[in-house]
């Protein structure tokens, strides 16, 4: 449930009183894996399947009508040109692997009775579902619904602030989706794993680290104990924020990036003035809606209890997925 007591603070007023250095100083650095990669030219793969389907359909029709009309030159030319195009598209896809990394950080500020919540939104350049077939479907979904491929996460920092001086900020702690112990490529995730941590956790270079492909988080100290993940997905890189890559998240921009269907609750989730903040909980009923929609689409197009694992399983059905997502009203 949204906390109606919180009041949104205009970032210009806050910056005038406390300066932009305050926001940058308290923005949590992110530790991320350099082995988190994706195929940038996913549209090339989709086009590859469409062209391949077109070749098969054209060949079938040509053979069916061979008794009535068949031009060897035209048939051969179309097949050769389409095949060359297919090869180019496939090569473009194969050689287009890029790093998935945090590229910038947005922020919002809320206040109530001297308590502040600084909502930081690390923005990742993309997201890779561990199931190859679902990854393509997921990218189609994001392209149709969000019109972009970025992945927006959320970390809340709570604290009290003396209005007379930005130096008198007393941080209470962080609140984020905690995914300690999850495999980086594990398909099953829990987005209602929000956990509060006292600010003391964020000390002695104990950075907040990405825990899995969905860019949920754990602590650097957790990662150090998970030797398999630590070694398999090394090297790990620290992303620090500065004046150039940290930006206020304003309402107009939320509309531009289709914020509503992303199901990110931007209101602060805890009430520190009520005490025992570490025992307070949060649950978002729509946290897994995007993944649920993808499963529903697969069931609608392929039928129940059909498991897709490889890209080849999609074959000629990509257009149906694109139409299905386009017709959604989120």
pLDDT tens for each residue of 121-163: 999 999 999 998 999 899 989 989 999 989 999 999 999 998 6
At 1, is the pLDDT very low, low, confident or very high (cuts 50, 70, 90)?
very low
CB neighbour list of residue 30: distance below 8 Å, 6 or more residues apart:
102, 122, 207, 208, 209, 210, 238, 239
- Number of helices (H), then strands (E), belonging to the chain: the values are 10, 14
Q: Determine the average pLDDT of the residues in 57-75.
A: 71
The model's pTM: 0.85
Helix (H, G, I), strand (E, B) or coil at 80: helix
- Tokens, residue 229: 């993940």
Q: Determine the average pLDDT of the residues in 165-191.
A: 91
The answer to whether 169 and 115 have CB atoms below 8 angstroms apart is no
The whole-angstrom separation of Cα 209 and Cα 250 is 26
At 61, is the pLDDT very low, low, confident or very high (cuts 50, 70, 90)?
confident
The whole-angstrom separation of Cα 213 and Cα 128 is 6
The whole-angstrom separation of Cα 238 and Cα 249 is 23
Quick one: which of 13, 34, 15 has its CA closest to 23?
15
């Amino acid at each position: 449930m949204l906390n109606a007591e919180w009041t949104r603070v205009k970032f210009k007023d806050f910056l005038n009183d406390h300066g932009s250095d305050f926001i940058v100083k308290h923005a949590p650095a992110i530790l991320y894996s350099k082995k988190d990669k994706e195929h940038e030219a996913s549209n090339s793969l989709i086009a590859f399947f469409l062209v391949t389907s077109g070749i098969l359909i054209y060949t079938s029709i040509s053979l069916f009508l061979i008794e009535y009309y068949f031009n060897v030159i035209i048939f051969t030319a179309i097949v050769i040109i389409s095949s060359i195009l297919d090869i180019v598209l496939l090569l473009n896809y194969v050689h287009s692997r890029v790093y998935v990394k945090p590229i910038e950080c947005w922020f919002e500020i809320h206040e109530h009775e001297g308590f502040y919540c600084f909502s930081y939104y690390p923005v990742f350049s993309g997201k890779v579902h561990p199931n190859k077939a679902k990854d393509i479907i997921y990218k189609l979904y994001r392209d149709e619904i969000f019109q972009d491929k970025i992945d927006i996460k959320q970390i809340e920092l709570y604290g009290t602030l003396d209005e007379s001086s930005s130096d008198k900020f007393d941080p209470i702690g962080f609140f984020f989706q905690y995914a300690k112990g999850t495999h980086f490529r594990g398909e099953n995730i829990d987005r209602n794993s929000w956990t509060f941590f006292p600010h003391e956790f964020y000390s002695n270079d104990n950075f907040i680290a990405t825990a899995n492909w969905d860019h949920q988080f754990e602590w650097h100290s957790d990662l150090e104990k998970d030797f398999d993940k630590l070694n398999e997905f090394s090297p790990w890189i620290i992303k620090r924020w500065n004046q150039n890559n940290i930006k206020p998240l304003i309402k107009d921009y939320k509309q531009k990036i289709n914020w509503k269907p992303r199901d990110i609750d931007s209101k602060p989730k805890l009430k520190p003035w009520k005490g025992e903040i570490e025992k307070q909980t949060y649950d978002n009923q729509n946290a897994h809606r995007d993944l649920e929609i993808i499963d529903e689409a697969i069931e609608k197009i392929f039928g129940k209890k059909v498991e897709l694992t490889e890209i080849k399983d999609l074959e000629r059905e990509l257009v149906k997925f694109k139409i299905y997502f386009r017709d959604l009203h989120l």
